[in-house]
């Protein structure tokens, strides 16, 4: 199991958090998603290592931007 943290830019409300959570939760191998609106932190738990490009694409599909994987 692995945990990766990303910084997401552009979220302003609870709906934003829900959108990111839903999209990232659908990425194969992802077992858990936590989004902190105040800090913009996205924490992703996965089986093995998760595909950073797939996580970034899911965030962009939700309408937001990954500033940088941390």
Domain extents for the chain? 2-69
Which two three-digit tokens encode residue 65? 């931007």
Task: For tokens 């913009």, name the residue.
Answer: 40
Query: What pLDDT score was predicted for residue 70?
Result: 52
- CATH number given to 2-69: 3.30.70.100
What pLDDT, on the 0 to 100 scale, is given for residue 48?
Answer: 80
Separation of alpha carbons 55 and 59, rounded Å: 6
| pLDDT value of position 1 | 84
DSSP codes, 22-64: HHHHTSTTEEEEEEETTTTEEEEEESSS--HHHHHHHHHHTT-
Phi, psi values for residue 54, rounded to 5°:
-70, -40
> What global pTM score does this model have?
0.91
């Amino acid at each position: 199991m692995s945990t990766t943290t990303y910084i997401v830019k552009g979220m302003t409300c609870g709906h934003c958090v829900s959108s990111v959570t839903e999209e990232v939760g659908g990425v194969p191998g992802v077992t858990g998603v936590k989004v902190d609106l105040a800090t913009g932190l996205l924490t992703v738990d996965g089986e093995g290592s998760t595909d950073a490009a797939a996580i970034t694409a899911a965030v962009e599909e939700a309408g937001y931007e990954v500033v940088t994987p941390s």
